[in-house]
Chains A and B, each alone.
Chain A
């Protein structure tokens, strides 16, 4: 077994994640015992994150909603096969990524953007946009919309594997090891894919970068 490859092993990055994983396992045990309503707690907890992953992979909000629902249905149907070898969120993310990639493979020729609204009032996004442009008001929103489209275009130019790595690492904030576990690959592979994807994105988004 490759030293950097971690498969079937729970990877916990922080104590908070460890507590979170334990709580998830308890809920999963309840669902496995027949408490179907307990699964709703897992849905409420992870629906936004799962939707974010699928949305950033597809860049289509309608498809993202359907695929997120399919992800939870698949998880519910196969919850009895979850043995606790990995954390629940890693297991759920894997299902979400595989569902989204399968959808992208089936609809390779039919891809169009359907973007969510960017919340420019958030502190992070406001500061970034303010650094990029001196405009305000309606012009600022227009600029943010243009920047959002360029970002999604650049992301869709990546391959699905590179896009997945970038999404999970840069947007969702997962570690290399977690990504390796979700993608069923090694940490080195994740690092290499991430590096290559960043080079491509930098080339695409050069006009918007300021050094």
Chain B
């Protein structure tokens, strides 16, 4: 080669032949074989098309976020519940004074029955007509009707007193019950109807303060055995029927009054029996 030609002659082919002398480093081939083996093994695994692997991958992707999604849902639910509860609290706080306020004018508008409110704390049988009147007038009356009542009473007071400002003394009892009570007393003085205002004042105490049990002779509380038996047999029927409709209550009372004590006693005796230390009742 070199000896065959002139020493100074170097052709393009000679230069290109120099590139054959470029060799990789000594440790190249072991690394090359190792990487090639890994790629060859990976190539042996047949890759499935994407439309077959997509559902499994999508499910796996969603499954990875199950726990965070559940926790987020619970947090969101809790947040909404607390928020609803907080917005409902002020409404519930307003509902109580409206109910108290609406009760008072309705009692006044009930006429002669208002007097019976005063005796309601003393005598239990007199409560029924008052409760019926209250139910008729509507205990669940809204705030609008309560304000209408205030306006009518204040107008009456203005007519009698000759001033427009007297109506301003009426305020909802939620703010200050004592102020309203004093206002009612002023109206009482203007009206001259002491019976109405006295009844209102007595009713107020019974409503505001807890009812105190009157001192009663224990012997007076005892009832005859016939009354006890009749109450036992008819108690369940009365409680369910009387609580729903007043008419049904009247019918039950009428039915109960027709049953003679003697008949009840005989029926009770025939159905009762003693066996050892047991009391047997037949139905």
Contact = CB atoms under 8 A, between A and B. Distances in A.
Contact of B21 (A124, A201, A211): A124
The SS class assigned to the A binding surface is helix
A51 interface: yes
B36 A131 contact: no
B17 interface: yes
Nearest to A39: B40
Interface stretch (B23-31, B122-130, B162-170, B177-185): B23-31
Contact of B23 (A70, A119, A127, A211): A119
Nearest to B23: A119
Contacts of A72: 36, 40
Nearest to A124: B17
Contacts of B11: 209
A148 B17 contact: no
Contact of B15 (A77, A117, A208): A208
Contacts of A129: 18
Interface residues of B, number: 31
B15 A128 contact: yes
Interface residues of A, number: 44
A69 B23 contact: no
A72 B41 CA distance: 12
The SS class assigned to the B binding surface is helix
Contacts of A119: 21-23
A81 interface: no
A47 interface: yes
B2 A127 contact: yes
A128 B36 contact: no
Contacts of A205: 12, 15
A151 B19 CA distance: 8
Contacts of B25: 116-117
20 contacts: A51-B24, A65-B24, A69-B35, A73-B36, A73-B39, A73-B43, A115-B22, A116-B23, A116-B24, A119-B21, A124-B1, A124-B20, A127-B1, A128-B2, A131-B8, A171-B16, A171-B17, A198-B12, A205-B15, A209-B10
Interface of B: 1-2, 7-25, 28-29, 32-33, 35-36, 39-40, 43-44
